[in-house]
Every structure is written in C-alpha cells, then in structure tokens.
Amino acid sequence: MNLAEIRQRLDDERRTLALDAEVLVQLPAVTRLRTRDGSHYSISFSRLTTDNADAAISNEVEYHRHLGVKFEWKLYAHDSPPDLLDRLKSHGLNPGPMEAVLVCDITDPPPWLREPIVHHVERIETPQQVDIFRRLEDAIFGQRNGSNADALAEAVRSGSSQHRGYIAYSATEPAGIGRLYTHPQSHFAGLYGGGTHPAHRSQGFYRALIAARAVDARQLGARYLLVDALPTSRPILERLGLQWLTDTWPCQWKP
C-alpha cells in the first residue's frame, strides 16, 4: 500500500464527505461537521499554517460558544502546523487518548477474510436489536449517553446502509458489538465501537466482528478498512495485517 497516497485520500474525504445523518460546511481553513439532530459538532478537517492557526481555532471556539454547544476537533498527527495539538490545548481544547489510525486493503482479501467466521454475528436491522446493542454497549464501556444506539436506531428507521451495527453471540447470549461506517463515494470503511463483554473476552468475538464488518464493507464498495485503535486493540488488528497510517486525537471543547 502507498500510505502517503492513502493519507491524502483520507484528507480529501475528511474535507468533503458527510454521511446521511450529517451536515458538512466547508470553510477556507476548516471543515465543520455536525449531526442533523444537533447531538454532535466537530471539526473534521483543517488546513492551517503557523500564521493563521490561532485565529482559526479562536474563531471555532467562539462560533461554538455562541451556539452553546460542545465540539470535537478531530486532529491527525500529519495535520499542519506541526504544533497544532499544543495550539488547540492553549485555546481550551482537551485532547483524549492518542489512537493509532490503522488501514487494510480489502480489495485483495487477506487470508483471515477468506476464512469462515467462527462466531455468529448479526447485522442490526430491527429496533429490538438496537435495544440489545444499547445494553451491551453500556456493559462493555460503562454507562454512555446512548448517542451511538440512537444513531443506529435512526439508520434502521431510514434504511440507511451508511451506518450499521453488529452483535456477536455466544450461543444465544450477546457477547460483543461493533459499528461500520461507509459512503458510496468513499474509499474507506470505518470500524468503530468494537468491544467484547468481559465474560467473553479472548474467545475470538472481537475478530469475528471485524471480519463480519469487512465482508459488508467489501460488498458496499470500500477499498480500505480504517480503524482508530487504542493500545488494547492495536495488537489484534496488526496481527490481522492492518498497517499504521497516522495517529489521531479527539480534542474536546465544552462551553
């Protein structure tokens, strides 16, 4: 894989593409992205210099302060200027844990993608499955605000294929979850929210969820799997052949 070309493709899509449930606004220096229901605001892309970075950050802080909403600046390690993380901090944005952005070319399926999936994985297609997802997400990650489940419920209601949820089962017991984001104009399929209940870890459920989403991603026309990986999941993904592309930080600002 030509990682430099893939990074450039990722940047182009960060700047220009929005999912069904999102609204994108391109400005000269940044791209704003928000959900249609107003539950999430973010800066998905920036192209800044040492001369204009502080002014652009200040402008976004004031814009969101005026709206009275929190927002996330999705920062990547290759974004300019090189000290952008420090500049964001100085304007009151709080970076979350660094995640490694990993990528895998699925147009020529790796060996693990040709193997049978060893656990039963269901794609979420009903409100009842959304309820199972919601309960399992809380059990895996701790009590959350329910926004992921709400977004899945809306995708099910509208028939959108751009945001899909998955549940892995141990016999009849829900054991793990994951989400998949695709876009008909995108080269990438984003894997998010993968996790396994503590009672079922180290039994292959995480890998089964990756494989099930990869199969659907190929059918939907994606070329690459893309994952923001914490240190806990990075070794599993790298053993499957995913390669490091860049690093990313979710930088949060609250009014």
| pLDDT level of residue 110 (50, 70, 90 thresholds) | confident
Mean pLDDT of 126-133: 97
DSSP reduced 3-state for 91: coil
Interacting residues of 129 by C-beta distance below 8 A, sequence separation 6+? 122, 156, 165, 167
> Does residue 78 form part of some domain?
yes
| Separation of alpha carbons 64 and 68, rounded Å | 6
What's the N-to-C CA distance of the chain in angstroms? 42
> Does residue 228 form part of some domain?
no
pLDDT above 80 for 88:
yes
Query: Are both 133 and 211 inside the same structural domain?
Result: yes
| pLDDT level of residue 1 (50, 70, 90 thresholds) | confident
Query: Are both 90 and 113 inside the same structural domain?
Result: no
Against a cut of 0.85, is the pTM above it? yes
| Cα→Cα distances 24→15, 38, 66, Å | 9, 12, 19
| Separation of alpha carbons 234 and 64, rounded Å | 33
Choosing from 72, 100, 128, the residue where a domain stops is 100
Query: Are both 87 and 129 inside the same structural domain?
Result: no
Query: Are both 91 and 165 inside the same structural domain?
Result: no
> Does residue 229 form part of some domain?
no
> Does residue 38 form part of some domain?
yes
**β strands within 79-208, DSSP E:** 94-95, 99-105, 120-123, 163-170, 173-181, 188-196
pLDDT above 90 for 143:
no
Mean pLDDT of 3-31: 96
| CB 29, CB 46: distance < 8 Å | yes
How many distinct structural domains can be found in the chain? 2
Tell me what the pLDDT averaged over the chain comes to: 95
| Cα→Cα distances 114→106, 109, 110, 189, 211, Å | 11, 7, 7, 18, 9
Structural tokens at position 6: 């893939």
Q: Is 127 exposed, middle or buried (0-12, 13-18, 19+ CB in 10 A)?
A: exposed
> Does residue 126 form part of some domain?
yes
Q: How many residues does the chain have?
A: 255
> Does residue 46 form part of some domain?
yes
* Residue numbers of the domain that contains 158: 107-222
Query: Are both 7 and 62 inside the same structural domain?
Result: yes
Query: Are both 50 and 134 inside the same structural domain?
Result: no
Query: Are both 86 and 113 inside the same structural domain?
Result: no
